[in-house]
Amino acid sequence: MPRVVLIDEVGDVDAARGALSAHPDVAVERADRLPAGEDVIGLLVGTEVPVGPGELAVLPSVQIVAATATGYDHLDLGAIAAAGAWATHCPGYCDDEVAEHAIAFALDLLRGVTLLDRSVHAGRYDHLDAPGRRVSGSVLGIVGLGRIGRAVAWRAHGLGMRVLAADPLVEPGLAAPAELVELDLLLAAADVVTLHALLTAQTRGVIGAEQLALMRPDAYLVNCARSALVDHEALGEALIAGRLGGCALDVLPEEPPPPGEPALRWPRTVINPHSAWYSPESSGAPYRLAAEAVAAVLEGREPAAALARPHP
């Protein structure tokens, strides 16, 4: 029996099966690692599962590789197309959740909520341990003005924040409610910088030591996108030296973090367990959407959100 295999540590296999219910002759299975064999016709893979020439070499019948996420930097699109398969992703399924999480992080940092909570639990009771700042009138800098970046911009605008954005792919007249500026100007002006760019060769390490040095010592960094957008060694050095006010991270270089993860010891740092995408509404959506893409291919249709098509 042909197989579609889901490899995603939090993947909802029932949602995937439901989307493929019109194909009872296809088995939908969950696995902890990439499979091999001529019976595998589809892969549904999370961001921690790379798919390139080596993986495809043992999957001669694969017709589609569907990322169960918005990001797709783990997929070698050229290799997938050359293997005669489609590649897809799942844009839009958690835009609201990630935007709201980024705003929550920004408010937390500006008002000192988590740091004050830690202070009280440590036996202190002093609001100046993390003095809050007024949100209205603060400057939010958004790096990457795609769907999620725009959702963040409108929420920040509603809170009375001034919104700046840096994105070389956006036309100046199409950035509302944000003001489009160069990255260096954004970093220098922002009270909070939040990252919402896809991870590509051009954006990897887009926030490094040089960029962090442009930020004010009382500014904050928020990352709900991809860990590799930031040079974590430089970020830790800036925090420890007091050259940055703090940061909030939903993504880390290794997840879950090992005991020696430096970020766990950084000062003025809030860390969440890659949870920005989650809500009851979004939890099954990427697996359903990825499986719907498989169904489209099986039915001879072009799948939604295609990133690569089979080479003729």
Instruction: Please give the structure tokens belonging to residue 260.
Output: 């020696």
Cα separation, 152 vs 174, in Å, equals 15
Catalytic residue among 179, 255, 261, 309: 255
Q: For residue 226, indicate whether it is catalytic.
A: yes
Side-chain-side CA neighbours of 147 within 13 Å: the count stands at 11
> Could you tell me which of 274, 268, 278 has the C-alpha nearest to residue 256?
274
255 is catalytic: yes
Choosing from 3, 274, 288, 292, which is the catalytic residue? Answer: 274
Contact between 148 and 93 under an 8 Å Cβ cutoff? The reply is: no
How do strand 40-45 and strand 3-7 relate by DSSP bridges? Answer: parallel
**Do residues 5 and 27 touch, judged by C-beta distance below 8 A?**
no
Per the CB < 8 A criterion, the answer to whether 263 and 269 are in contact is yes
Question: By the 8 A CB rule, do 203 and 211 touch?
Answer: no
Catalytic residue among 3, 89, 226, 232: 226
Active site residues: 226, 255, 274
